[in-house]
Structure 1
Amino acid sequence: MYIFAHRRARGVLDGEYASIFRGRSLDFDDLREYVPGDEIRDIDWKATARVGTPLIKRYVATRRQQVLFVADTGRNMAATSRGGDIKKNIAVMVMGVMGLLATRHGDSVALVHGHGATTSSLPAKGTESHVENVLRNMDAASLERGSSDLCARLEYAASHIKTRTLMVVIADEIASDERLAKILRRLKAQHEILWVEIADAVLAGPDAVHNADGVGTDVQGMEQVLLLLASEPELARHYAQATAERAYGLAELLKSNGIAQARIGATEDVMKQVFALLERHRRAR
């Protein structure tokens, strides 16, 4: 598995990300046998004549792509996910999987995260030790310091990240609105975007998450609240309807911008869902 980039180079200083370890540059690497689908222009005709079978030239890629994680570290990420994990922990695991995939194929990794009006960032580097630093920064974020405002993080990225990137947005379940639509249109003009949504715990209906005394914590106000229990079918119905409408609105917004989406509710689902997301992105046109 690797993280595929659809866009061709926009200038002579941008390399083409065309394969796992190979690309186009002035540095010749080796030859291999031609297979259907290879570019005819890459055939080494002199070597082909000597050997008697078509051979393809391969070159060392001089440049790769930059993978930029944009993550919310506001209070919403302190909530419980559908599988019972803290949302931030799932986000860290997603970043770990994708970060190691990126660096092992020559890409660099950067991070933008924050809460409320506060945004922090780490510059792009292409080492595994840097990925570990990114994960430590994400894991160390104090989720009780400020409210969640994903759009503020996206607006920061639009204003400060001038290099073309493959942007991986890691977010709580949010509703689509004009502010989000506007910033996505702006970002899509420069970057390729993948969207990872950390699914909420179910609060009503037969699958509701609740403890023995029926009390939970509101992550926004950090106070105790009564949970909606499975014994309230009318509340459960309205809750399910509102949740479905919100999910549909976001999915339609992402689809209209050509953004592949994954929805992850538990740490054990991370590997499967990340690989499925990368495959959907690779097949997109």
Structure 2
Amino acid sequence: MGTHLDRAKAHFGRDTSGMLEGGRYALIHTRSLEFDDLRPYVRGDDVRDIDWKATARSGHTLVKRFVTEKHHKIVVVADAGRNAAAPAPSGEPKGEVAANLIGAMGLITMRRSDEIGMVFGDVRGCREIRLRRGETHVEYLLHRFVEHASGRPAASDVVTQLEWVSRHHRHPRLLFVVSDEPDVDDRLTDVVGRLTGRHDVLWAMVADAPAVGGAGDESDGYDVRDGAFVIGRDLGPRVIEAYQKAERERRQRLSAFLTANGIPHAVVRGSASIRTALSAMTEVHARAR
């Protein structure tokens, strides 16, 4: 594998079985008789595919999966703007965590022979890489994302990328959004409403490191908007407490908004939590029948 995919695999691992099963817009191909493996039964599966012997041995209802059972057309929608340079809570640059998220999704698609493309950019506009399959293509996606995010990007604005997708992708897709934690405003509400009417959406958000430290924290907080440092220890405990309360409420509003729109989502604090986040999101997606 290439450098970027190797880095993603180091965090995500090799096992991608059972991920991205089902969903509203999985494309059902003419199924071959080539057996692949077994997976847990999900409501809506054809009961004729249940492997009764394996079910009896395991105590769980298992169905046979065939090589060409279902495939997706996946579009990664990635914020490659200035916020990628800020640190995540893990201490990694947010752009590095985002690249590992995209790489992990690429690893899932490779095993399933899904097609994957990408729309990425910043507030100035978007670039698009068309849908294709395979390891070389996924490595190319990662190279282009890292190249843009580590160059001289403009301000982050994932709504710009979402609006591009809403205008240019008329056929149903599985959208995998990778961004920071956006504010819920009229622009976001409008574009999300348009996208969820046509596409399935998964949303992975890379968390910001705190903009201010704790009252007794000797470290400096980091403001992702302009790169300035905020000296937490000079603000006093009341100001810090008010900021932390506002941040909790903002995140709760965002989570409630995504849930109300039927979007499986997760906040990722570092590359070490990517597998847990993707597993949870794809499990919810599999039940969206």
TM-score bracket for the superposition, by shorter chain length: 0.7 to 0.9
CA distance 1:155–1:31, change in 2 (3 Å):
closer
Gaps of 5+ in 2: 1-16, 51-62
**Kept in 2: contact 1:92–1:139 (CA 8 A):** yes
Aligned to 1:161: 169
1:85 aligns with 2:56: no
Shift of 1:283: 3.5
1:4-53 per-residue CA deviation (whole Å, 9 max, x = no partner) reads 332167xxxxx32xxxxxxx5164446999x988635679xxxxxxxxxx
Percent of aligned positions that are identical: 29
Shift of 1:245: 1.7
Aligned to 2:147: 140
Distance of 2:267 and 2:129 partners within structure 1? 25
Distance of 1:208 and 1:152 partners within structure 2? 39
Farther off after superposition, 187-196 or 136-145: 136-145
Aligned length: 256
Distance of 1:186 and 1:42 partners within structure 2? 36
Question: Of residues 115, 130, 143 in structure 2, which corresponds to 1:108?
Answer: 115
Shift of 1:241: 1.5
Aligned to 2:236: 232
CA distance 1:225–1:164, change in 2 (3 Å):
same
**Kept in 2: contact 1:203–1:227 (CA 8 A):** no
Shift of 1:124: 0.6
Shift of 1:118: 1.9
Question: Of residues 190, 204, 222 in structure 2, which corresponds to 1:196?
Answer: 204
Question: Of residues 25, 48, 51 in structure 1, which corresponds to 2:30?
Answer: 25
Distance of 2:95 and 2:215 partners within structure 1? 22
1:172 aligns with 2:180: yes
Answer 1 or 2: higher relative contact order, Cα 8 Å, separation at least 6: 2
Distance of 1:32 and 1:110 partners within structure 2? 27
CA distance 1:32–1:204, change in 2 (3 Å):
closer
What TM-score results when the alignment is normalised by the length of structure 2? Answer: 0.78
Question: Of residues 60, 70, 73 in structure 2, which corresponds to 1:66?
Answer: 73
1:226-263 per-residue CA deviation (whole Å, 9 max, x = no partner) reads 33238721111111121112111111111111001111
Distance of 1:112 and 1:263 partners within structure 2? 21
Aligned to 1:39: 46
**Kept in 1: contact 2:119–2:129 (CA 8 A):** yes
CA distance 1:128–1:163, change in 2 (3 Å):
farther
Distance of 1:157 and 1:110 partners within structure 2? 11
1:7 aligns with 2:24: yes
1:76-112 per-residue CA deviation (whole Å, 9 max, x = no partner) reads 1211111111101000001111111112111011100
CA distance 1:188–1:32, change in 2 (3 Å):
closer
Distance of 1:98 and 1:31 partners within structure 2? 20
**Kept in 2: contact 1:205–1:233 (CA 8 A):** no
What TM-score results when the alignment is normalised by the length of structure 1? Answer: 0.79
Aligned to 1:52: none
**Kept in 2: contact 1:93–1:267 (CA 8 A):** yes
Aligned-partner SS, 2:161: helix
User: What is the identity, as a one-letter code, of the residue corresponding to 2:128?
Assistant: S
CA distance 1:62–1:241, change in 2 (3 Å):
closer
Higher helix share: 2
1:189-237 per-residue CA deviation (whole Å, 9 max, x = no partner) reads 11100010111112335399864xx4x6654434x43332387211111
User: What is the identity, as a one-letter code, of the residue corresponding to 2:143?
Assistant: R
